[in-house]
């Protein structure tokens, strides 16, 4: 049991340190925004409140058997709650062309898509555990699962939040493949993504512009889009060891969305290549530990749920980092545990708490 617990302990310590570093980076990246609002440290204290609540929930979930979350009644309640919240967002005014949050009061809001994401992965884990043998025999067993995924992804896409949908569907396909889905269906899904790309990306002006701006940055760096150029400049300023905490320059009204979408660029400028590598390594360790914990889970439900949570954290991480260095087109995905965003931080901490509980319940035949 010691070996397994050591993985859980390492994961717990790593997430604790990562969350603390995230708060410091939010403080640094938000300096200009809070100064303009006349409320020094406003975003820092707000993020700290979400971190405190999320940390307490993570500790609580560490001691609740993960199997409770895979029960049919629990999943049904979570799915209904998430679905209602996803519909309710349309009752609120659009912010920057999107309706993604429910506002509960001054400075208090949450994004239903974050909760829906976790609810969907709980549902997928339970469904695949129950039906994995049938899935290998007939793909028709996936129809109920695909229907639920389609309804939720459509609502999230209409917010609009296509990046979240891409992450959800990518993880869902990965789980189905691991459950035994034949390769030919993966290729069919890949083929269907081509017309989806055309209608959801190429025919939408602002998304098509992002693709074209990204291609321009790849082949003609000097003509790169403003966001991409400022991000690359920030990372270039950092050099090997960075300018020092709080001394970044691009966040001073040059780098757009510095505390959220491009916080990795702020890390690169203030802590340099060395600091950036440390962040990448920490998330790679999360990936490694998450996969090991999933493989050593006591049942198939724990395996699928652990793998889903691991990918839920790691996939947006490397998409965010890749956009910061122009390896992918810009997309509004936050850097888990680090970017400003209470809903993302809260849900990721809760999900990690469930993963830590899975870690504490290693297969008895290996104890």
pLDDT in tens, 121-152: 999 999 999 988 888 777 778 888 999 999 99
50 has pLDDT over 50? yes
Q: How confident is the model at residue 365 (pLDDT cuts 50, 70, 90)?
A: very low
Query: Which pLDDT score is estimated for 136?
Result: 75
Query: Which pLDDT score is estimated for 40?
Result: 58
| Of 178 and 90, more confident | 178
Do 261 and 330 contact (CB within 8 A), yes or no? yes
Query: Which pLDDT score is estimated for 341?
Result: 87
Query: Which pLDDT score is estimated for 3?
Result: 45
Do 326 and 218 contact (CB within 8 A), yes or no? yes
Query: Please, what is the Cα angle at 301 between 63 and 132, to 5 degrees?
Result: 175
Do 14 and 285 contact (CB within 8 A), yes or no? yes
Query: Which pLDDT score is estimated for 34?
Result: 57
Residue 85 token pair? 């919240």
**Ramachandran class of 252: left when φ > 0, alpha when ψ lies in -120 to 50, beta otherwise:** beta
Do 285 and 312 contact (CB within 8 A), yes or no? no
Q: Is the dihedral of CA 45, 46, 47, 48 positive or negative?
A: positive
Query: Which pLDDT score is estimated for 252?
Result: 83
pLDDT in tens, 212-227: 988 888 887 777 788 8
Mean pLDDT of 177-189: 87
Of 77, 127, 69, nearest to 354 by C-alpha is 69
pLDDT in tens, 14-48: 999 999 999 999 999 887 665 555 565 788 889 99
Please provide the average confidence, as pLDDT, over all residues in the chain. Answer: 88
Query: Which pLDDT score is estimated for 223?
Result: 75
Residue 138 token pair? 């007939």
* Integer Cα distance of 296 and 200 in angstroms: 39
* Integer Cα distance of 367 and 293 in angstroms: 14
* Integer Cα distance of 300 and 82 in angstroms: 25
pLDDT in tens, 268-296: 999 999 999 999 999 999 999 999 999 99
Residues ≥6 apart with Cβ < 8 Å to 281: none
pLDDT in tens, 77-97: 999 999 999 999 888 877 777
Do 269 and 235 contact (CB within 8 A), yes or no? yes
Do 334 and 316 contact (CB within 8 A), yes or no? yes
| Of 316 and 132, more confident | 316
Q: Exposed/middle/buried for 174, CB within 10 Å: 0-12, 13-18, 19+?
A: middle
Whole-prediction pTM value?
0.92
Do 367 and 311 contact (CB within 8 A), yes or no? no
């Amino acid at each position: 049991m010691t070996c397994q617990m050591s993985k859980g302990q390492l994961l717990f310590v790593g997430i604790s340190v990562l969350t603390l570093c995230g708060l410091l980076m939010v403080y640094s990246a938000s300096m200009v925004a809070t100064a303009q609002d006349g409320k020094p440290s406003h975003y820092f204290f707000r993020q700290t409140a979400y971190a405190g609540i999320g940390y307490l929930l993570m500790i609580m979930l560490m001691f609740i058997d993960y199997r409770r979350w895979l029960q049919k009644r629990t999943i049904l309640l979570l799915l209904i709650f998430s679905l209602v919240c996803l519909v309710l967002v349309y009752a609120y005014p659009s912010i920057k062309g999107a309706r993604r949050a429910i506002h509960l009061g001054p400075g208090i809001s949450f994004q239903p898509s974050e909760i829906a994401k976790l609810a969907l992965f709980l549902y997928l884990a339970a469904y695949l555990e129950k039906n994995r043998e049938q899935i290998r025999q007939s793909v028709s067993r996936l129809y109920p699962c695909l229907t639920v995924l389609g309804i939720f992804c459509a609502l999230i896409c209409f917010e609009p939040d296509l990046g979240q949908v891409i992450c959800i569907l990518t993880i869902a396909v990965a789980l189905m493949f691991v459950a035994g889905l034949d390769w030919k269906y993966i290729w069919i899904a890949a083929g269907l993504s081509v017309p989806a790309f055309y209608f959801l990306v190429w025919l939408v002006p602002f998304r098509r512009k992002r693709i074209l701006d990204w291609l321009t940055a790849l082949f003609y760096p000097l003509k790169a889009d403003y966001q991409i150029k400022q991000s690359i400049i920030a990372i270039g300023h950092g050099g090997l060891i960075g300018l020092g905490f709080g001394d970044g320059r691009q966040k001073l009204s040059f780098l757009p969305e510095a505390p959220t979408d491009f916080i990795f660029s702020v890390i690169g400028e203030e802590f340099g290549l060395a600091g950036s590598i440390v962040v990448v390594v920490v998330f790679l360790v999360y990936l490694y530990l998450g996969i090991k914990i999933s493989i050593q889970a006591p049942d198939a439900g724990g395996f699928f749920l652990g793998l889903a949570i691991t990918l839920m954290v790691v996939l947006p991480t490397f998409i965010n980092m890749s956009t910061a260095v122009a390896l992918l087109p810009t997309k509004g995905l936050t850097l888990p545990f680090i970017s400003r965003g209470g809903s993302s931080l809260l849900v990721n901490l809760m999900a990690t708490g469930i993963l830590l509980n899975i870690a504490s319940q290693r297969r008895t035949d290996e104890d």
